[in-house]
Amino acid sequence: MPLITDTPPPKVAEELVALRADLDARIPSKQMDRNVLVATWNLRQFGGLTEKWASESGDTPQRDLQSLLAIAEIIAHFDVIAVQEVRADLKAFRHMLKAMPPTWQFLLTDVCRGDAGNGERMAFLFDTRKVALSGLACELVVPKEQLDAVGPDALTRQFARTPYAVAFRSGERTFILVTLHIDYGDKSADRVPELKAIARWMADWAGDVNAYDHNLIALGDFNIDRQGDPLYQAFIETGLTVPPELQGVPRTLFTDPAKPLEHYFDQIAWFPKGGGRPALSLTYQTGGHYDFRPTAMPSRALTDDALSRHISDHFPLWVEFGTR
């Protein structure tokens, strides 16, 4: 049985080199004490692993060693990344860490129990050459007074998958990342209470003079269908703002470029200057997504559906901040 740390077969190694070159060309370079690259990625059902270089049609799961190396390569091009859909089964996660550079560390929540929790965990991975922990880690719990509120969009229970907040430091700048995966529900209206609650929670925290830090960044899978719909309005109603470079980029492999942007699921957002709240002091540079379809495993000619089972159905979303 091959290991993730073995020398890959020649074709796998060749495609990994091509993937690395494409990432180098499309993602800003890491600059010590000058920038920090923050990303979010929903990795589809990131749990089990088939320990072959190339899984076969009858294998479950389809994710194999080549696809895991591709995932590790993509993650390693950022400084800190929030990952959603890490499952109770940590086999793929543990093997991926073996393929990451030794400077990388992680934080991981326990499993969200219950049907709505879907057996998922929240994770942060970060490159210690650029990013350090700054002392705070917490789950976001909705106050009882808010749960007792009456209204059509009131949240009446805790989050199905508890948002996870961690403080990091890069250079002389400290910031808090809040990652979440909104419960999809049976219909889109089911998501509004959680979206309103997270937006309110973030606004209250940003406005608290005693808060640990006001550099708050929300990121993750918000399950917003499209910009401008009631879900998006619930998300931005307290002032959270998505940078313009992320407004029009596709979030999933299944986005039809001939139609208006749908599947506005993944977001990175913060309170901007001039919004009447303590604003982000990091200097925003640029942002984007990474479409791995052309370079991840091209010789295998996988359909988008098959590729989503090897790597993910979501693209990574990223932003670059200046830290000086």
* pTM of this structure: 0.93
Distance CA 176, CA 166 (A): 5
Instruction: Give the closest residue to 127 by CA, choosing from 218, 213, 31, 214.
Output: 31
Q: Are strands 164-170 and 173-181 parallel, antiparallel or unpaired?
A: antiparallel
The residue assigned the tokens 């090897």 is 310
What's residue 102's pLDDT?
A: 96
pLDDT in tens, the chain (324 residues): 899 999 999 999 999 999 999 999 999 999 998 999 999 999 999 999 999 999 999 999 999 999 999 999 999 999 999 999 999 999 999 999 999 999 999 999 988 666 655 688 999 999 999 999 999 999 887 776 666 564 566 666 777 788 899 999 998 889 999 998 887 777 788 788 888 888 888 888 888 867 776 789 999 998 887 777 888 888 888 888 999 999 889 999 998 877 777 778 999 999 887 666 667 888 999 999 999 999 999 999 999 999 999 999 999 999 999 988
What's residue 149's pLDDT?
A: 61
What's residue 257's pLDDT?
A: 77
Query: Which residues in 88-226 belong to E strands, given as ranges?
Result: 104-108, 120-127, 132-139, 164-170, 173-181, 216-221
What's residue 117's pLDDT?
A: 58
Q: Helix 65-75 crosses helix 10-26 at what angle (to 10 degrees)?
A: 20
Q: Name beta bridge partners: 41.
A: 83
Alpha-carbon distances, residue 231 vs 98, 199, 237, 243, 324 (angstroms):
39, 11, 10, 18, 35
Delineate the domains of the chain, giving CATH numbers in brackets: 10-322 (3.60.10.10)
Instruction: Give the closest residue to 178 by CA, choosing from 162, 190, 156, 196.
Output: 162
What's residue 251's pLDDT?
A: 94
**Number of C-beta neighbours around residue 33 at 10 A:** 12
What's residue 13's pLDDT?
A: 97
